[in-house]
A and B are shown apart, each in its own frame.
Chain A
Amino acid sequence: MTPQTEAELAEMIAGASGPLCIQGGGTRGLDADGERLSTRALSGVELYEPGALTLVVKAGTPVAEVEALLASENQRLAFEPMDHRGLLGTDGEPTIGGVIAGNVSGPRRIQAGAARDHLLGVRFVDGSGQAVKNGGRVMKNVTGYDLVKLMCGAHGTLGVLSEVSLKVLPRAEASATVAVEGAGPADAVAAMSAALGSPYDVTGAAYDPEKQTAFVRVEGFADSAAYRCRKLVSELAGFGSPRIEGEDAGLWRGIRDAAAFHGRDGDVWRISVKPSDAVALAPRLQAEALQFDWGGGLIWALVPAGTDLRARVTVPGHATLVRASADTRKRLCVFQPQPGPLAAISDGLRRQFDPKGILNPGLMG
């Protein structure tokens, strides 16, 4: 099913009797069992006001189209959404609705916030076929409950997004990166923590254990980025050998997309923890390869197919199975099961918003 309008989307959901597999670009391999319902025909820009940092687009609009439009005004999606195609070997065109439904956020999440922090408003159709609006197009809005955040990261299980309003931000004039070489995990996390605790407004802090190198990014006006890099080089000298990198766009795209694992066999997990917990946790994961982002707060792990990595995560946080066979995903669940009282709240919300249990059933619990 490929509805052309929100009204058609509502009709289709109201008329559906069996499970639906909600899909944007289909690039994240999150197929639930059920008839495919694609939002890709709900496409187009409704409003773009660069002077108000506001963009309103239909959910099926390709991310590439959104990014090109913003670039034409020297603006961007500050949360730096990942492109899953390289890691998962999928094709198709990622949509903005898919990014929002998954709260997909990249390295800049530590400074600028996640997708949910840039989402100002949504329109969606719930599981009974009712179209609902929440939030709006202005940056400060506390009028009623914030269902905007609830819909962001719900992976289509509470409703199918038809339109999203986003806060966009100016694209920085320059980006510069300090690479701290010769750093083990403990030094790397300490270095990233020192950088993130500095006044230099760090917008990326990642670590590649295979290269024993931590990367710290600053962005802004060219002089400012250069100044902050020099400051960071002197502040991080105790953690390894810091030096200023040349071109860094490819580097951060690779970190964003977990490029280190592209084309390598095995399952890929994404673990969210307190940054300082990453050091002790890393060896316990017994992974074939690891990548750290978010100053240590996000660990990407490559493990042999079928491994239950969650059992090895013994610190507070949660693990998401990003790449695995359909069987493994079924057996281990993509998303970490929640403790009893939280699971009860989540179940209650799903029953309210999807009384027929047809929206991506089983995907989130």
Chain B
Amino acid sequence: MEMPSPNPAILARKARLAERLLAVLPGDAVIQDAAETRAYECDALTAYKCPPLLAVLPRNTQEVSDILRICHEEGVPVVPRGAGTSLAGGALPTADCVILGVARMNGVLETDYQNRIIRVQTGRTNLSVSGAVEEEDFFYAPDPSSQLACAIAGNIAMNSGGAHCLKYGVTTNNLLGVTLVMMDGTVVEIGGAHLDAGGLDLLGVICGSEGQLGVVTEATLRILRKPEGARPILVGYDSNEVAGACVSDIIKAGVLPVAIEFMDRPCIEACEAFAKAGYPKCEALLIIEVEGSPAEIDHQLGLIIEIARSHNPVELREAGDADEATRIWLGRKSAFGAMGQINDYMCLDGTIPVSSLPFVLRRIGEMSREFGLDVANVFHAGDGNMHPLILFDANKPGDLETCEAFGAEILKLCVEAGGCLTGEHGVGIEKRDLMLYQYTAEDLEAQLKVKDVFDPKWLLNPAKVFPLSATQDRRDVALAAE
């Protein structure tokens, strides 16, 4: 994966930069020792590593503003970092960059149940946002599977989703306001506790901009009252086609489950071996969950079961109690751990129209044989967000490269099927060079123009999201001006 070569002039100014940052930050907030900056050399895409020039750990908006103003004046690139859980390399440093980590900014600023909002500093983890409102039976809906560790800052940067988006939407649908610090240090407030921010939908474009438009230090999030209850069922089929048709029929029938998870045979087998959840041996497995009062759940599941039965399942399992419900989810929730047990893996997240699911799964199976690497599929079936897990051996020369080539082919397939490269992980460096498969150069130019407005010197996370060749001129101009 190519990254821009570090600017020697910036490397030479490290001491001066550290000195200026220490003038506005406490001593322990500036990390410059080479042994310590290594803690920031990568995120969850661990195949790529590069220690930054410096790392800074501000505690509030003012400190973030001071840091960015100084880096702007010094012409130093800044890579914002949430909890470092990006699977796409969104927080990968370059040797001449400052990592701005928001981990120390984890406070709750306001909870307001009457208006159903919470305002937090963005270093707070996703799960602890729900934790802060749990005593009143509220929750924050977007639930990425890394929710125990991932930070709201990263959720906003990547517009993170989760298993329950079919009903509750993704981050952008649950974000009401932000405090944004621009690269020159300017602090802007966008939106707030009211439902619609005025003017152009800047909130909409900031969410999902992968830390390239500004650093979000505080966020107003929508919180919801928990439903009265939830209950899953498990249905197994002997073909992916039939399972796909079942999902489509459920949706067409007007039932909207909160989650429909899909696992294919390799995934079922791996999970079964790892977690022993008692899953049936079959080609495709669906876990469908609905919410409401016990009577409402019975009614919805009744309709779903009728549709599921009409497709002749090899197994249909209901949860009689909480314990059985947990067992239904057990295998799915351990899917990633189960894969990690077998080998190294790469997790993709292309999205496809639900109708093309059987075709896409069949093609992935064929490609798996062509590339000689195993792949297992878990899938948010209601919204078409795939998660192919390609297994490889990092210690075997050439295996990572084969895996990446296979991954790229899967993502191109998703685009050909009418879908997209990434449904919830973001582009980062991982999918940067595939952007021209989904968009024309003109389509990308329209996106680059937005960055020109927010960050004219192209200093914020500059080597991400877009193919380097598409941003070369802009980064060069910034460098020349410097």
Contacts and interface: CB of A to CB of B under 8 A. Distances in A.
Q: Do A and B bind each other?
A: yes
Interface of A: 49-54, 73-74, 103, 109-110, 113-114, 116-117, 126, 130-134, 136-150, 152-154, 158, 169-173, 190, 193, 196-199, 201, 220-221, 223-224, 227, 272-276, 294, 297-298, 316-318, 320, 335-336, 338, 341-342, 345-346, 348-349, 352-353, 364-365
B254 A318 contact: no
B193 interface: yes
Contact of B420 (A53, A138, A198, A349): A138
Contacts, number: 257
Contact of A352 (B252, B254, B449): B449
A260 B369 CA distance: 66
Contacts of B112: 276
User: Which residue, of A140, A149, A223, A275, has the highest number of chain B Cβ atoms within 10 A?
Assistant: A140
B481 to A, nearest CB: 18
A223 B292 CA distance: 12
Query: Which one of B193, B422, B424, B440 has the highest number of Cβ atoms from chain A below 10 Å of its Cβ?
Result: B193
B207 interface: yes
B159 A142 contact: yes
A149 B442 contact: no
B198 A146 contact: no
B80 interface: no
Contact of A113 (B169, B446, B449): B169
B447 A147 contact: yes
Contact of B299 (A141, A224, A348): A224
A297 B443 CA distance: 36
Contact of A139 (B165, B194, B452): B165
Contact of A117 (B173, B209, B422): B173
B293 A276 contact: no
B331 interface: no
Given A73-B252, A138-B351, A170-B254, A109 B195 contact: yes
B254 A173 contact: yes
A141 B172 contact: no
B64 interface: no
Given A51-B355, A140-B165, A223-B295, A146 B172 contact: yes
Given A140-B351, A149-B204, 11 more contacts: A74-B254, A117-B173, A132-B442, A138-B384, A140-B170, A143-B435, A173-B254, A220-B296, A227-B293, A276-B115, A316-B192
B299 to A, nearest CB: 6
A201 B293 CA distance: 11
25 contacts: A50-B251, A51-B355, A116-B204, A130-B446, A134-B439, A136-B420, A136-B438, A137-B418, A138-B383, A138-B420, A138-B423, A139-B384, A141-B420, A144-B438, A144-B444, A144-B466, A149-B207, A150-B450, A170-B256, A171-B254, A273-B194, A318-B194, A318-B196, A349-B453, A353-B446
A152 B453 contact: no
Interface string B187-205: 1101011111111111111
Interface string B150-188: 000000001101000110011011000000001000111
Counting chain B CB atoms within 10 Å of each CB, the highest count among A133, A136, A346, A364 belongs to A136
B241 interface: no
Nearest to B204: A149
Interface string B421-454: 1111111000100010011101111110111111
B205 A150 contact: yes
The interface size bin for chain B is 35 or more
A335 B449 CA distance: 24
B194 A316 contact: yes
Contact of B202 (A113, A336, A342): A342
Interface stretch (B31-39, B223-231, B319-327, B336-344): B223-231
Interface of B: 112-116, 137-138, 158-159, 161, 165-166, 169-170, 172-173, 182, 186-188, 190, 192-205, 207-209, 225-228, 247-249, 251-256, 292-293, 295-296, 299-300, 351-355, 380, 383-385, 418-427, 431, 435, 438-440, 442-447, 449-454, 465-466
Contacts of B195: 109-110, 114, 272, 294, 297-298
Contacts of A131: 442
Contacts of B465: 144-145
A219 B116 CA distance: 20
A38 to B, nearest CB: 23
A197 B201 contact: no
Contacts of A342: 188, 190, 199, 202
A149 B172 contact: yes
A130 B55 CA distance: 41
B168 to A, nearest CB: 10
A345 B200 CA distance: 10
A51 B248 contact: yes
A124 to B, nearest CB: 9
Nearest to B170: A140
Contacts of A142: 158-159, 161, 208, 422-427
Quick one: which of B159, B353, B424 has the most chain A CB within 10 A?
Answer: B353
Contacts of B248: 51-52
A348 B199 CA distance: 13
A54 B352 CA distance: 12
A295 B253 CA distance: 30
A332 to B, nearest CB: 14
B418 A316 contact: no
A141 B207 CA distance: 12
A113 B204 CA distance: 13
Contacts of A133: 439-440, 443
Contacts of A273: 194
B64 to A, nearest CB: 15
Given A336-B198, A352-B449, A143 B427 contact: yes
Contacts of A338: 198-199
A364 B201 CA distance: 12
B354 A51 contact: yes
B196 A114 contact: yes
Contacts of A143: 420-422, 427, 431, 435, 438-439
A136 B418 contact: yes
* Centre residue among B114, B137, B173, B186 by max chain A CB count within 10 A: B114
A252 to B, nearest CB: 18
A160 to B, nearest CB: 14
A345 B169 contact: no
A199 B227 contact: yes
A198 B354 contact: no
